[in-house]
Amino acid sequence: MIITDTGVPEEYIDRDEWGSEVMLRLDDGWCAAVDRDTLMCTIYENRPWICREFEMASYECEEERKEQGIDK
């Protein structure tokens, strides 16, 4: 969810069923801003606040990666 203006480009913004701005997901369910080859964020400097709070290699991050079968 995009709750503050960090400059996310319009083409990556969608609206949820309640009308709130969220990151657009592509057919694979992943955020449209993920580079599918490198798994890096292509809008890193403008990523939403929640993405800044989700700490890399944190317990939550590691658990999510395990659930998604990501091992790189």
d(CA 40, CA 20): 25
Residues 16-35 that bind ligand SF4 (CB under 6 A): 23, 31, 33-34
d(CA 33, CA 41): 6
Q: CA dihedral defined by 8, 11, 15, 20, rounded to 10 degrees? A: 20
Could you tell me which stretch among 13-21, 43-51, 60-68 binds ligand SF4 (CB under 6 A)?
Answer: 43-51
> Out of 13, 21, 24, 51, which residue is the one contacting ligand SF4 (CB under 6 A)?
51
Give the footprint of ligand SF4 on this chain (CB under 6 A): 23, 31, 33-34, 41, 43, 47-48, 51
